[in-house]
Amino acid sequence: MPRIDLNSTALEAATYQDELALLELEFRSGEIYQYDGVPAQTYQALLMAESKGAYFHSHIRNRFAYAKIHPAKPKPGC
């Protein structure tokens, strides 16, 4: 499952497991979520989207079952 760095203000990176249709997204905040049942075409479209964040919000968020697997990075000074 190769990690693909994303040129996005909201998303840091993506990984995809085709055999499981599992998309893992790392956000700039440090949070990591896994989305289940994401078709390969949706993942490819995310990679090609001009705005990865906008594509995520309109085509992935609240459309697939998900689990948070890593909390946000602690803020400096906390």
Q: What is the CA radius of gyration of the chain?
A: 12
Q: Where are the domains of the chain?
A: 4-70
3 state DSSP class of 53:
helix
pLDDT of residue 75: 55
pLDDT 10s digits, 8-43: 999 999 999 999 999 999 999 999 999 999 999 999
Its pTM stands at: 0.88
Residue 77 in this model has a pLDDT that exceeds 70: no
Rounded to whole angstroms, the Cα distance separating 77 from 24 reads: 29
